[in-house]
């Protein structure tokens, strides 16, 4: 007898009122992901982070309480989505703290205006995909050579392009295109260092005015895209979206773990491709461009994101000795990844250097032209994985150091991403130790973001509220300082002042995490500089890339020892160096070649098993540093709040 | 209310007992094609050839009698399949005359043994796909460059192969292949003139022993294939099948017509690809080779067959000025056509010259080395479309002439393909004008094949039974000669001696058709020779290619003026020149390049609108020729049967 199939239930997610069906016993988190409903899940569904909280408003789930869920919340019907198995029709509310907030990625960057940036120079505007308009003599009985033969002959005669080959995808439409255009056609060629010039498209008539490309920065968290007009070298539209892979975990490690599950790699590829497709649609609509007129795309991304986009198993990126599958990525058909563009569109990925130094860094180095100048430059992209480059036109070394999630609010009791309500600005009254806080968008405080954490620590250090070892000065006369569950803590905002009905505090554990993160970054610069016989003090320029880097207060970052103590005019913010490099590469075959040159020229130093790095790290576990002589401009008020 | 769907009926085809379902009102011919049941249909289903006869053994069809169906047959339940619309469950017998007979294509060819053939020389054995075995140093923390970087480095070091690029299909499996093979792998590269050397496959371990390719000759009627061992340069297995496209019409024109119907191009491509896939399976099984170890394939075919295989609309091949889409075909992925081989396998097509001079002819010219020698050669492939090449190492001209279907038995009252029961050998007793006939395989006669027709005409001409104008000598004293529906006819076999219970005759109309066909061929040689200031008499060698060409009796063919009257030792049969050229190309990059050189070097002369051709044709409408001085060795017995 046939087995009865399990019953189907209707699941309604709020807000958004997204309805889907699920079989009995299905995991609620999995059902949400399939339905395109995002629920935060730092641990990727392992049940051990407690961030995926939902309220079961109607219906039954099987779900036991874990230690990540307070009894009070459990009684109210709150559950961890990843620990719920469906038993009936449901109405599920995704709690505010578990939702994606778009604010963070739309946030204005305080990047330097592009005209005053250090930018790459000396390249000619010649995109990798080029268009040529041809007028062919129609065939006659005297000259009835094949369509392709005729086309290649005229391409040689009219544009001096010989030794050209042809992508076979062009063949099925060739005869019709020539005749539809009454023997006038526009040929798109693609130039690729290794394989020469290739015809990738033949369109009827003169389509040279419709000449567009895409530049993408695919980040672990956010994806940024630009639609470019290749005739004008202009950005026509921009888009930013969360990388839909976020549903599978917040950091690259959880993505790699996910990719090892059955079907995981395909799901992750599909997730990011869905994001990219959505953005292409948005930008094309905004710019009133037919996405069929897009001729190529350039992507910059970290090594894990690139391998996932291309469907390459990222397993070995995190296993010693940390080997990527490919560094100089050959151009691939965009369509082969699932990206919805014409059959002829190729995707160029900026080359990567190593498992943790990706195409985003190469793009930043390319865009800023570090590799062209004598100036000894320190390039920093601060994040969970901080990437560092030191070099000039003659040599470059690079390293990645694991700073941990601190700068994104991870591991901090009231840490949060830099969204509305995050405490960012901070000062302390030296007389009574009372704080003044400024939140993003001026909302009532909800937590502390990474740049806020730096500002708070710097102000407290300067005022003597904390000591250089990160411990509170327990002799202070203020009730803001108190003992909490995690030892001493300082109250930044009392419950009634907040959006979360809880005191927002900063604890000694938070400060300890911050110190370890900044020590990892600083030890990175130092180890890398020393590896080439130099020193942080010799850096003639410091370039800060990335969204987080651009929201740092330089002075405060130096005060806590996150950045080296150099003259302030040596620092420059470039904003999203990854997207900058992708855009410029989209404009120039020279830069496409330079990207490969840069990747080949960069020497990667593995810090994780490096003894000097460990020594430098230990020495940096102090505010600003164990060696005060490294930070001559930082003076601390030894007195503390009186 | 929902519309009721039409009822479904079971249709059983015999012989073979193939059962399928069909909706009421479906066309029986279309249902047969979908079910893979072949029914002859010269006209491609237009209802005007009467070859698709079936017997409706059980059930009802709607089908009116046409003039192609005798009333007697209609009463027995015989119908034209293309004129039947299904009204019930059916049992349908495909009548013997409507079935494909495999005998014809399996028939032994009287080709010259390969060692005495004029063969191409001076090429080195280096297939387009090459295998290299590499041992890579495993990555370490000191040397953790990307997998691909490591691979390319070792390829350069161990095999001096630099400037190599990579097919992106290799990337997803690369990391695993390297590790599965414990850092020993076999790389397959593909060399292509225009685009350099490309890595197309990386397999774990040393797989150099598994190194195979395919050579195919895709004919309008039959497809011939060989599975080759690239280590030994040997044929491991052969296969021959009817081209499944035959269900859509017998000649290239009916295929082109079919391709213009909705979905027609895709159906035709699928039909030939199904044939090829079946043959690959047969050959792989026979040779005990895993088809996944096949590294490339080479196909030679006429222009229509190539365009259909590649999915290129063949429309313009038959419209003046007769322009193919492509002559030098770039290598395409076999899989992109539907051929079931590995993702990495490329299909090379021998270049074609013009709409009616295809890659099969280039393959023949290549294989026989005509383009390498001083010897002035006439190369002939006789068929419905006869192709002719004249030239040597310095120049080559070519032309196609439409000889009509005569040589395949078309347009001949009792014409048939060269299968068992076809009258082939023939002589006549000059005393009583009684015939002696020899049939293929010695079966009771069923009809006359093309080579038989030549032999009959030559014997009758020599014996004076017919005059040089193709008319019967009506004064003959024999009851074999009589008046029939089509004027005078000669009885080759009486009904009771045959398999078909009818007298088998040759008529004046048949002879007239033969004369026109041979005149077209001869006018072709002559026009082509004259176009370069030469003459048939100057030909130092005549190469006869193709299955039909190889079954011709040279002496008789000269007697009727189908071949020029040259010393007999100048004639050589090469059998299937198309498959010969494909096989040799499969062995050698030199020959791949030579194929392109040949196609570029051949000048195509269009005969269809050529005034000199028309004059030569008119002069050749005589046996052997109006100008007897062109055929000095042919002497005719003026007396006739006494």
In this structure, the strands spanning B18-23 and B8-14 are: antiparallel
* Domains of chain B with CATH codes: 8-98 (3.10.20.30)
Write down the pLDDT at residue B105. Answer: 44
User: B194 and A165: CB-CB below 8 Å?
Assistant: yes
Whether B605 shows a pLDDT value over 80: the answer reads yes
Residue B326, C-beta contacts closer than 8 angstroms, at least 6 positions apart? A146, A147, A148, A149, A171, A174, B312, B352
> In degrees rounded to 5, what are phi and psi of residue B88?
-165, 180
A322: nearest CA partner in chain B: B144
Report the candidate in A586, A168, A204, A388 with the shortest Cα–Cα distance to residue B331: A168
B-chain residue closest to A324, CA distance: B146
Round to whole Å and give the CA distance between A48 and A66. 9
Q: Which residue has the higher pLDDT, B163 or A56?
A: A56
Q: With an 8 Å Cβ cutoff, are A139 and B333 in contact? A: no
Q: What pLDDT is stored for residue A108 in this prediction? A: 40
Instruction: Considering only residues B254 and B639, tell me which one the structure prediction assigns the higher pLDDT.
Output: B254
Q: Cα(B452)–Cα(B552) distance, rounded to whole angstroms?
A: 9
Compute how many other C-beta atoms are within 10 angstroms of the C-beta atom of residue B235. 15
Mean pLDDT over B10-34 rounds to: 85
Which range has the worst mean pLDDT, A80-89, A464-473, B66-75? B66-75
- Residue of A161, A191, A320, A326 best to disrupt the B interface, most CBs of B under 10 A: A326
Q: Read off the pLDDT band of B623 (50, 70, 90).
A: very high
Residue B139 touches partner A, C-beta closer than 8 Å: yes
Write a three-state SS string for A246-280.
HHHCCCHHHHHHHHCCCCHHHHHHHHHHHHHHHHH
Q: How confident is the model at residue B46 (pLDDT cuts 50, 70, 90)?
A: low
Contacts of B326 in chain A (CB under 8 A): 146-149, 171, 174
B570 near A CB under 8 A = no
Determine, for residues A327 and B166 on separate chains, whether the beta-carbon distance falls below 8 Å.
no
Give pLDDT tens digits for B352-409.
999 999 999 999 999 999 999 999 999 999 877 899 999 999 999 999 998 888 888 8
Among A498-502, A547-551, B59-63, B404-408, the least confident range: A547-551
Q: How far apart are CA A452 and CA A442, in angstroms?
A: 14
Q: Which residues of B touch A174 (CB under 8 A)?
A: 312, 325-326
Across chain A, what does the average pLDDT equal? Answer: 90
What is the mean pLDDT of the segment spanning B101-107? 45
Q: Please tell me if residue A639 touches chain B, with a CB cutoff of 8 Å.
A: no
- Residue B598, pLDDT above cutoff 50: yes
CA atoms within 13 A on the CB side of B508: 18
**pLDDT above 60: residue A102:** no
Give A 161-200 residues with CB within 8 A of chain B. 163-168, 171-172, 174-176, 192, 194-196, 198
A-proximal residues of B, 344-373, CB under 8 Å: 352, 354-355
Residue B540 has a pLDDT of 97
Residue-level pLDDT at B101: 55
Give the closest of A171, A198, A323 to B139, CB-based. Answer: A323
- What pLDDT score was predicted for residue B35? 77
Residue B1 predicted with pLDDT over 70? no
Could you give the CA distance from residue B359 to residue B325 in angstroms, rounded to a whole number?
14
| More confident: A467 or B162 | A467
- pLDDT value of residue A163: 83
Please compute the mean of the pLDDT values over residues A17-45 and round it to a whole number: 78
Cα dihedral A355/A361/A366/A371 (nearest 10)? -80
| Interface test with chain A among B161, B323, B324, by most A beta carbons within 10 Å | B323
Residues of chain A with C-beta less than 8 angstroms from the C-beta of B140: 321
Percent over 90 (pLDDT), chain B? 68
pLDDT value, residue B114:
64
Residues of chain B with C-beta less than 8 angstroms from the C-beta of A311? 172
Distance of CA B473 to the CA centre of its chain: 38
Least trusted range by pLDDT, from A156-165, A324-333, A508-517 = A156-165
Nearest-Cα residue of chain B relative to residue A163: B194
Check CB contact of B328 with chain A, cutoff 8 Å: yes
Q: Is ipTM beyond 0.90?
A: no
Mean pLDDT of A326-354: 96
Of A531-545, A570-584, B60-74, B506-520, least confident by mean pLDDT is B60-74
Q: Give the pLDDT band of residue A627 (cuts 50, 70, 90).
A: very high
Cα B408-B409-B413 angle, rounded to 5 deg = 165
Whether the pLDDT of residue B2 is over 50: the answer is no
On the question of pLDDT at B3 being above 60, the answer is no
More confident residue, A441 or A287: A287
Q: Kindly state the average pLDDT of the residues B612-617.
A: 96
Predicted confidence (pLDDT) per residue in A443-452, tens digit = 889 999 999 9
pLDDT at A15: 78
Instruction: Determine the straight-line distance between the first and last CA of chain A, rounded to whole angstroms.
Output: 84
Per-residue pLDDT, A549: 78
Side-chain-side CA neighbours of B431 within 13 Å: the count stands at 0
Q: pLDDT tens digits, residue range B423-453?
A: 988 888 877 888 888 888 878 899 999 999 9
Confidence of residue A468 (pLDDT cuts 50, 70, 90): very high
B29: β partners: none
- Strand A18-23 vs strand A53-58: parallel, antiparallel, or unpaired? unpaired
Distance CA B419, CA A177 (A): 45
Are residues B168 and A330, on separate chains, in Cβ contact within 8 Å?
A: yes
Would the CB atoms of A175 and B145 count as touching at under 8 Å? no
Average pLDDT over residues B84-107: 73
Torsion-angle region of residue B561: left (phi > 0), alpha (psi -120 to 50) or beta?
left
Query: pLDDT confidence of B221, banded at 50, 70, 90?
Result: confident
pLDDT at A46: 65
pLDDT band at A638 (very low <50, low <70, confident <90, very high): low
pLDDT digits (tens, 9 = 90+) for A366-413: 999 999 999 999 999 987 789 999 999 999 999 999 888 888 888 899
A149: nearest CB among B327, B330, B333:
B327
Pair B155, B132: CB distance under 8 Å:
yes
Q: What pLDDT does residue B639 have?
A: 56
Q: Are A561 and A624 in contact (CB under 8 A)?
A: yes
Going by C-alpha positions, the residue among A288, A516, A281, A283 that lies closest to residue A386 is A516
Q: Is the previous residue joined to A517 through a cis bond, with omega within 30 degrees of 0?
A: no
pLDDT score, position B44:
56
Helical H segments across B491-565, by residue range: 508-531, 554-559
| pLDDT over 50 (residue A105) | no
């Amino acid at each position: 007898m046939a087995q009865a199939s399990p019953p189907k239930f209707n699941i309604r997610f709020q807000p958004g009122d997204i309805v889907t069906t699920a079989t009995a016993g299905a995991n609620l988190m999995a059902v949400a992901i399939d339905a395109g409903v995002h629920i935060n899940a730092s641990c990727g569904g392992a049940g051990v982070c407690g961030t995926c909280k939902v309220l079961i408003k109607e219906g039954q789930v099987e779900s036991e309480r874990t230690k990540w869920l307070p009894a009070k919340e459990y009684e109210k019907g709150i559950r961890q989505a990843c620990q719920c198995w469906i038993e009936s029709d449901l109405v599920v509310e995704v709690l505010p703290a578990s939702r994606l907030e778009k604010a963070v990625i739309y946030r204005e960057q305080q990047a330097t205006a592009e005209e005053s940036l250090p930018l790459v120079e000396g390249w000619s505007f010649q995109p990798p995909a080029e268009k040529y308009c041809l007028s062919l003599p129609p065939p006659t009985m005297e000259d009835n050579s094949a369509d392709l033969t005729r086309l290649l002959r005229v391409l040689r005669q009219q544009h001096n392009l010989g030794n050209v080959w042809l992508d076979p995808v062009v063949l099925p439409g060739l005869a019709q295109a020539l005749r539809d255009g009454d023997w006038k056609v526009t040929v798109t060629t693609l130039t690729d260092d290794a394989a020469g010039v290739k015809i990738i498209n033949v369109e009827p008539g003169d389509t040279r005015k419709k000449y567009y490309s895409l530049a993408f920065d695919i980040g672990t968290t956010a994806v940024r895209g630009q639609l470019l007009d290749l005739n004008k070298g202009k950005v026509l539209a921009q888009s930013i979206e969360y990388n839909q892979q976020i549903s599978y975990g917040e950091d690259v490690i959880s993505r790699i773990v996910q990719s090892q599950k059955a079907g995981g790699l395909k799901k992750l590829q599909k997730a990011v491709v869905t994001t990219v497709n959505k953005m292409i649609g948005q930008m094309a609509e905004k710019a009133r461009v037919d996405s069929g007129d897009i001729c190529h795309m350039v992507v910059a991304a970290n090594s894990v994101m690139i391998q996932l986009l291309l469907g390459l198993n990222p397993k070995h990126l995190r296993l010693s000795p940390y080997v990527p599958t490919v560094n100089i990525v050959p151009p691939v058909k965009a369509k082969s990844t699932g990206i919805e563009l014409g059959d002829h569109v190729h995707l160029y990925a900026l080359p990567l250097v190593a498992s943790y130094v990706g195409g985003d860094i190469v793009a930043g180095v390319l865009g800023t032209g570090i590799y062209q100048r004598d100036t000894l430059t320190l390039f920093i992209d601060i994040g969970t994985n901080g990437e560092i480059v030191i070099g000039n036109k003659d040599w470059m070394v690079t390293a990645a150091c694991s700073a941990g999630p601190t700068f994104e609010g991870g591991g901090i009791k009231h840490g949060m991403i830099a969204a509305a309500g995050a405490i960012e600005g901070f000062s302390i009254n030296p007389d009574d130790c009372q704080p003044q806080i400024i939140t993003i968008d001026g909302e009532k405080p909800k937590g502390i973001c990474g740049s806020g954490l730096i500002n708070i620590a710097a102000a407290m250090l300067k005022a003597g509220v904390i000591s250089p070892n990160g411990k509170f000065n327990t002799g202070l006369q203020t009730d803001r300082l108190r003992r909490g569950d995690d030892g001493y803590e300082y109250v930044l905002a009392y419950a009634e002042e907040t959006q979360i009905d809880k005191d927002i505090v900063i604890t000694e554990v938070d400060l300890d995490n911050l110190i370890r993160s900044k020590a990892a970054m600083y030890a990175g610069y130092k180890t890398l500089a020393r590896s080439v016989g130099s020193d942080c003090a010799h850096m003639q320029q410091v370039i800060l890339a990335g969204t987080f880097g651009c929201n740092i207060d330089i002075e405060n970052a130096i005060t806590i020892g996150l950045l080296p103590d150099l003259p302030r005019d040596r620092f420059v913010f470039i904003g999203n160096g990854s997207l900058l490099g992708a855009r410029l590469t989209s404009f120039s075959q020279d830069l496409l070649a330079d990207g490969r040159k840069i990747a080949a020229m960069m020497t990667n130093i593995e810090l994780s098993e490096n003894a000097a790095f460990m020594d430098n790290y230990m020495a940096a576990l102090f505010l600003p540093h164990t060696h005060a002589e490294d930070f001559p401009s930082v003076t601390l008020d030894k007195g503390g709040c009186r």
